[in-house]
Structure 1
Amino acid sequence: MKIDHSQPLEYSTEQNRLNILGFWIFLGAEIMLFATLFTSYFVYEDRIGSGPSGADIFEITPVLIETIILLTSSFTIGLAVHAMRINRTKAMTVFLGITLLLGAAFLATEIYEFNHYYHVGATLQTSGFTGILLTTLGTHGAHVTLGLFWGTMILMQIKKRGLTPQIANKSFIFSLYWHFLDVVWIFIFSFIYLKGMM
């Protein structure tokens, strides 16, 4: 395996560059998934039947907490990649660990939020609006959950093998995935929560 030392570690081999390109293509498919969910949401957002509307069920506090947590985690994963690029493995693992803790805090807040929805009668079966709302939020939450497992596996690999070009590549691709989830959340915050509270 030929390593190009003029490139950042995550791009240092031909296979690493192909992996990153392949992941960008995968993100294109993920964009289509969430675009479909958002389109469905916009179709069903006013179809509340006898169930609650967004203005009835949305609470600003958990939504702001979730948003602050995810935006902070986007910053910490950026710090992890920066530490990786300057070969500070310990700092990288600390920032990656903080990112994962923030992701877990986000999920805990989302579970609280889903519990609130259930208790006010907003379930998958209540109306078209609540069905697509919970599907969209749940899909994003499932992606965050996957990210927690993925990031944990990367931490375990770093502890076992150190920072190799392959692990750097996996870590960089993970950071792209995490930033993608943060961007999706900004759309959820803006076009579902804020719009629904008005």
Structure 2
Amino acid sequence: MKVLTNFYEAVKNRRSYYGISSEAVVSDERIVEVVNEAVKYVPTAFNSQSGRVVVLLGENHTKLWNITTETLRKKVAAENFGPTEEKMKAFGSGYGTVLFFEDKEVVKSLQEQFSSYKDNFPIWSHHSSGMLQYVVWTALEVEGFGASLQHYNPLIDEEVKKEWDIPASWDLIAQMPFGKPTAEPGEKEFKPLDERVKVFK
């Protein structure tokens, strides 16, 4: 198992892995523990704790990507569907998927309590979700998994909520398929930092 003991090393090593397998890397209990820790400790605006997560393993993971495949099949012309189907198979061949949601009822409640910030709460909700996604992604990599972040919402929202009895107020934000890496990601290019960071002393 890959062990990363340094925060900055973990940040550098987090990448998008599209080649993944269903081979177990750590126990299911450890996966749930990692997700729980992220959900508990990732910051949220006004400590709203609006993030919601569903972990799909085994047949449930496979079912998600079957649902996504069939949903996209209705949207993409048959003669162009080959690459899309291959991508769905790649995601489905992994070990599991983490679904990220934000609870709209929590956001609505904050809007009602703090009307002067009303327009900002949906934005801050998405900021919190982004942090949660990043922490889970990096933590899974620390455990030895490879993952990527996907966005097939809102196309699959209705079926997902129906299949797993998800509350209506949970708004699907992203899907993170993960599994044991079978291929390394390519080299990543970086723009010059002096074009992206300004320091004033």
Instruction: Name the structure where helix makes up a greater proportion of residues.
Output: 1
Task: Report if TM-score (shorter chain) is over 0.5.
Answer: no
Query: TM-score under structure 1 normalisation?
Result: 0.28
Using structure 2 for the length normalisation, give the TM-score.
0.28
